[in-house]
Structure 1
């Protein structure tokens, strides 16, 4: 009888820990879900979709949540309040909606003072509807949402008639490829770049070419030791911005760094 009781306790304990393990959210690298809205989409739907993108697949919090690489948009910056309260005062004559949209479509149009790194060109990664959802979410952070279904419908029409996407740059020079795709906004190479993600310096001495290739094609498959907190932050669409030749040029170049 005693053995049966012990066995019951063991099974019960294992069951509890299994349930807890399955209940813990897992970090994953996911492609942001495409949005399909009608022209009568509600403000609440846009904000909710934008919140999911901002906190998930878009990887926005990787930079905007650290306050060292980009201004914090949700908790205030330099005492100016959240992004929804300050976006309309950034550029004279430009309202909040126009400012936020241009900041994502053309990140170099206005860079906040403080030595922050340029943002990835979001138009390469997200659809027009996704970008407008992000704008709505950011406006909602202390401001008034002025994004409408008409904005989303116009963006969807533009996406439908736009030519098929291609590589971000035409070059096969590894440095030009990395700069053109803003890889050095997170990775460091020979004194250039940022120390947010694993450095390109010495990469070939740490992992082989196959592992490097997998890391580019499927960023969430294997996370470098010590960088678990960045899981899901590398845009999963990077392979779509490279030709097959450019991919192999990068793999070969990185495999020779310290290898």
Structure 2
């Protein structure tokens, strides 16, 4: 498989790329069904695709929240998806000691937003030589990401992606400042917009987070028009019964409607027009 960072082209002739899948690995069969659907859809629309799913959600709201199968079984499932569909895979790590094991399977290592200032974690991920996607913390200004990028680059790794996922706005709420995308692009890194976590309501349902998936498609379209290189979207065929982040995950039907619009908006931007 070619280096996934090379398929995520940016610039005036590049298509948008998509990182999508369930929030967490609920089971092998669920992941396979979602990966199969998204692979077929992205091939049809000519969109480079990376499958995402967490094998351990360490930052859940409640001690009773479902966290996933753990690294051993989770990485085995991700490796199977990677092989079965010939697609890159991405997942997150939460401690420096996890980086080397994750790098044996993952094509891109992700740093969760709440851990984006953890220097040792970022350096350990970067030292694997794998591309690293760093999510901007809900508590940070976009220009603060420059220092975080330099932490990763200090390990000799220039293959860094940045993801906007909303900013804390009072209690249990997030808002999106589209200016953030352009500001973070000044680092020279590809910039991704996480449309589904941006409509999350953290802890908004007491023992779990809420959200409003209806707002994800318009924000995704706005982000591409504002210059995002790609999208990150949690996707599920039955989000109302998903074990993690269901309220803000989009359905298959929503993705089928949205993706052609994203491609069309990016084409307009690439042609020097405005959306």
Same fold, TM exceeding 0.5? no
Q: What TM-score, normalized by structure 1, do the two folds share? A: 0.26
Q: Which has the higher strand share?
A: 2
Question: Which of structures 1 and 2 has the bigger CA Rg?
Answer: 1
Of structures 1 and 2, the one with the larger relative CO (CA 8 A, separation 6+) is 1
Q: What TM-score, normalized by structure 2, do the two folds share? A: 0.25
